[in-house]
Amino acid sequence: MGVTAGENVATALVRKLPSEEKVQLARLQLPCNIDWEQEEIAWKDGVQPVFEVLIKPMEVGGGGLLHKPGSNRISGDGPPLDAMIQAAWQTDWWDIDYRDELPAGQYRFAAAVPKGREAELLPVLQDALERSFGFRARWDERERDVLVLSRDGTAPLKESGCEEWWWMRQG
C-alpha cells in the first residue's frame, strides 16, 4: 500500500498489481501551504473552530511558518520541530540549550485562539508542543558574549522598517 501522485502511475505499474509483486512508488510530496488548515480542512459542519491546535507529521516541498505578532493564529507547513519551538517561544536556535535530540521530520501545525485572547496563542502552542513531544522548556538566565554591530563603531544600526509579519523559510 502506498500513496503517490497520479503521474507516477504508468501502465506497467498497473499490470503488476494483480500479481501482488512489490512495486516501488515515488513518494508523494505535497507543496508547502502555510495556510493549510484554513484551505485544506473541510469541517463537516462547515464551521471553522474558534480555538484549535493541530500538529501532524507531514513531508512537504520546503517549509515555512507564518505569525503576525498580536494576531490570534500561527501556522506552518513543513518546518522541523526546532523551528516550531523557536516560533512558539519567539527565540532563535542559538538561544536554545538542547539537552536531548528532537524527533526528526517535518510537521504541519496550526494554532488559533478566539479574537480578544491573542495573548494566549503562544502559551497554548507551547503547551501543545511540550505535551506532544514530551519535553519541558524553561527560560534560564546565563551570561554570554554577544556581537554588537554598528556602522562605524559609534552609530547603532537603525530599526528595521519592514512589516511586523514574521516569516521563516526552511529548506
5 lies in a domain? no
45 lies in a domain? no
46 lies in a domain? no
Q: What's the grid cell of residue 92?
A: 532563535
Tens digit of each residue's pLDDT (9 = 90 or more) over 84-94: 999 999 998 88
1 lies in a domain? no
Do 60 and 106 contact (CB within 8 A), yes or no? yes
Q: Enter the pTM of the model.
A: 0.66
Q: How many structural domains comprise the chain?
A: 1
Q: What's the grid cell of residue 133?
A: 513531544
Tens digit of each residue's pLDDT (9 = 90 or more) over 66-124: 898 999 999 999 999 999 999 999 998 888 888 888 899 999 999 999 999 999 999 99
Which domain covers residue 65, as residue numbers? Answer: 53-139+162-171
CA dihedral 44→47→48→52, nearest 10 degrees, is: -80
